[in-house]
Chain A
C-alpha cells in the first residue's frame, strides 16, 4: 500500500496554488490535511497525476470570530478549531461535532474545510455546515465567489466546486443567542464513521421552543436541514417527550439512508430518529 507517483506542487501563495490548480485541473488533487486523501492514495483507489499541497500557503490557517459567523481557513486543523475557546463561545456546535471526528491524532492533522470539501455524507462537518447555513469562500481562475452550504453539496463526495477552484475558508453562521445546540452520533467503534448522527439547534423563547433544526450524518445523500419547528414549537423541557412521535416521524420521513455492511437502511433510519429524540431531550433540559 504505497501511493503511485505524482507531481508534487507546494505553492506558497494562493495565487501560486490557483495557478497550479488551473494548470492541472482534473488531473490534480488538493492536499490539505490528507487524512482522507492519503489512505486513498496508498490503496491506489485514487491516482491523481498532481498533488497541490496547500499547507504552505500563507494565510489559510486562521480562525476569525465575527458577529454573524466563525470563519475557518482552509488549513485550520480540526484540533485547532476544537480547542479554540473563541470559536466555542461563538458557536458551541463546532466543538460538539468536532469531538466526534475520528480520533485526536486524525484531528491534529485533518482540516475542517477539507472534510467539508471532501463532502462525505458520513462526515460530521458537512452536516454542521448546512445546519449553520455556512458559506464557502471559493477562489478560482475567474476570481472568488461564495457558495451557500445548501448549494454546495450535490451528492456523495460531489460538490459544485470546480476542478480548478479551491475552498479557501468556510464561514459557519452563528445562531441567535437563545439557541442551544447539540451533536450526537453512534458509531460501531469510537472514532468510526457514524452509523447515524445528528446535529441539532433549538431556539427558545420564554422557556419554550420557538425554532428547531437538525441535520444528519451518514443517513442522507447530501447533508441538508430538517426543520423541526412545526413539530416542536412551544415544547418545554417538561412536555417535550410528548412530541417524540412527531419528531421520529419527521426524521424517518426526511432521511434517505442506504444499507451497507455495518447497518441496514431501516436500522439507520430508526437510529437517526431515536438519536434525534434523545438529543432534543438532552439539549432542552440543559
Chain B
C-alpha cells in the first residue's frame, strides 16, 4: 500500500488524528475516517458544494483538498453548526422556512450560509440569493433557502421580527 501520512486536525473543536494516504480527499477523510458523515459528496469535482466545510472559518470544497493538507487547520462541518437539541441559527432557520427537502445538499448550504452571515449580517433578499449561488440544490428551487438566509440573519441579530418583512420580491 502507499505511504501513510499522519493527519492531526481539529474538527468542530475536537482534535482528531488518523493516518491516511496522500490521495485521501478531505471529504472522504471526514466521512469515512472520522465518520462525520454530515458532510456530503455530490460531485467530487467542486461544482455542487454539498461537501463545503469551513477551513479556518472560510468555506472550501472538501472534495478539492487532500486530508494531508488540512493538518494543523481548524475545520467546521455541519455537525459543528449545532445539534438536534441545540440547533444553530442557520439550522433553525432552514427548519422553520422549509429550506430543505431531501437534505443532501443542506450541509453545504449550512456551512456556506454560516460563514456568509458572519461577514454580512444584514443581507437583502438579492444578496441572500447571491450568497447561496455556489451550491446546487435539486429539490427546493432555492426560494425557501433564500428565505432561510434572511431568517437566520434575524435569529442571529436576536430580532424576533417575522422573516416575511424581508421577503423576496419578484424581479
| Interface size, chain B (Cβ < 8 Å) | 28
Asked if A190 and B133 make an inter-chain contact with CB atoms under 8 angstroms apart, the answer reads: yes
Q: Which of A5-13, A59-67, A128-136, A141-149 contacts B (4 or more CB under 8 A)?
A: A5-13
Interface presence of A35 (CB below 8 A) = yes
A3 and B59 alpha carbons, distance in the complex (Å): 22
B155 at interface (Cβ–Cβ under 8 A)? no
A242 sits at the interface (CB 8 A)? no
CB-based contact B68/A34 at 8 Å: no
| B112 contacts A109, C-beta separation under 8 Å | no
Which A residues touch B112, using CB under 8 A? Answer: 104-105
Which B residues from 115 to 147 make CB contacts under 8 A with A? 130, 133-134
Q: Is A42 an interface residue (CB 8 A)?
A: yes
B23 contacts A4, CB within 8 Å? Answer: yes
Please state if B133 and A103 are interface contacts (CB–CB under 8 Å). Answer: yes
A-B contacts, 25 listed (Cβ < 8 Å): A1-B45, A5-B2, A5-B23, A7-B3, A7-B22, A8-B22, A8-B68, A10-B68, A35-B64, A38-B65, A39-B45, A39-B46, A43-B45, A53-B68, A103-B49, A105-B49, A105-B52, A105-B60, A105-B134, A106-B134, A108-B55, A108-B58, A108-B59, A109-B61, A190-B134
Residue on B with the closest CB to A105? B59
A249 to chain B, nearest CB (A): 34
Query: Is the CB of A284 closer than 8 A to any CB of chain B?
Result: no
Q: Is A191 an interface residue (CB 8 A)?
A: yes
Q: Is A21 an interface residue (CB 8 A)?
A: no
Interface of B is mostly: mixed
Q: Digit string of B13-54 for contact with A (CB within 8 Å is 1, else 0)? A: 000000001110100100000000000000011100100100
A104 close to B46 (CB less than 8 A): no
Residues of chain A with a CB closer than 8 A to B133's CB: 103, 190-191
Q: Which of B2, B64, B66, B130 has the most CB of A within 10 A?
A: B64
Q: Are A38 and B64 in contact (CB under 8 A)?
A: yes
A68 to B139, CA, bound (A): 50
Q: Is the CB of B23 within 8 A of A3?
A: yes
Say yes or no: B25 contacts A109, CB within 8 Å: no
Is A244 in contact with chain B by the CB < 8 A criterion? no
Question: In the complex, what residues of A have CB within 8 A of residue B134's CB?
Answer: 102-106, 190-191
Give the nearest-CB partner of A56 in chain B. Answer: B69
Instruction: Check B11 for interface membership: any CB of A closer than 8 A.
Output: no
B111 (CB) vs chain A CBs: closest residue: A105
